[in-house]
């Protein structure tokens, strides 16, 4: 009999996808057996988009969890022991399930604080941190 964690992961994943949102995993990249692209790890954590359009061969019920995801335009194999998965949540609403306990004061990494950005195709790219620049307001131009 499998432990309850894979069932919770799968149920939350299904709920997020059925809601039309993007499922993401917050993973502790320091644990033994974790195989992720290390260039995308920040503060020993990595956030992975596991939406059906971003990954191939996702198996949340296996030990370890395995799938392929695009990084820099090419697919790479990802292997995650169940204990490495800290949180599964919806990117848009940030609602989900914490699968491990956290120290008091833990704050989930936000996308705005991260130098790792995901494009519309699910590819991850590391952006260089520049000095804060003046933020431009969005504008629309009417084209005839």
Per-residue pLDDT tens over the stretch 76-102: 999 999 989 999 999 998 888 888 766
Q: 58 is written with which tokens?
A: 């996702």
List the domains of the chain with CATH numbers: 4-102 (2.30.30.220)
Query: Do 51 and 17 meet the contact criterion of CB atoms below 8 Å apart?
Result: yes
Task: Look over the chain and give the mean of its residue pLDDT values, rounded to a whole number.
Answer: 78
Cβ neighbour number for residue 58 with a 10 Å cutoff = 20
Cβ neighbour number for residue 89 with a 10 Å cutoff = 22
What DSSP letter does each residue of 89-106 carry, written as one string? EETTT--EEE-S---TT-
Per-residue pLDDT tens over the stretch 17-44: 999 999 999 999 999 999 999 999 998 9
Residue 103 has phi, psi (to 5 degrees) of -65, 150
Q: For residue 52, what are the contacts with CB-CB under 8 A and spacing of at least 6?
A: 17, 58
Q: For residue 74, what are the contacts with CB-CB under 8 A and spacing of at least 6?
A: none
pLDDT above 70 covers a percentage of the chain that reads 67
Whether residue 9 is preceded by a cis peptide bond, meaning omega within 30 degrees of 0, is no
DSSP assignment, residue 31? S
Reduce the DSSP state of residue 18 to 3 states and report it.
Answer: helix
pTM of the predicted protein model:
0.70
Distance between CA atoms of residues 17 and 134, nearest Å:
36
Query: Do 17 and 96 meet the contact criterion of CB atoms below 8 Å apart?
Result: no
pLDDT in the model for residue 97 = 86
């Amino acid at each position: 009999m499998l432990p309850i964690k894979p069932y919770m992961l799968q149920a939350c994943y299904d709920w997020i996808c059925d809601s039309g949102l993007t499922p993401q995993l917050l993973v502790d990249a320091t644990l033994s057996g974790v195989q992720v692209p290390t260039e995308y790890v920040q503060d020993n954590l990595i956030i992975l988009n596991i939406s059906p359009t971003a990954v191939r061969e996702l198996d949340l019920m296996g030990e370890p969890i395995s799938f392929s995801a695009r990084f820099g335009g090419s697919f790479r194999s990802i292997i995650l022991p169940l204990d490495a998965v800290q949180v599964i949540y919806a990117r848009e609403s940030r609602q989900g399930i914490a699968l491990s306990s956290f120290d008091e004061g833990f704050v989930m990494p936000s996308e705005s604080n991260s130098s790792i950005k995901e494009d519309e195709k699910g590819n991850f790219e590391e952006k260089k941190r520049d000095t804060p620049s003046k933020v431009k307001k969005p504008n629309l131009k009417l084209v005839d």
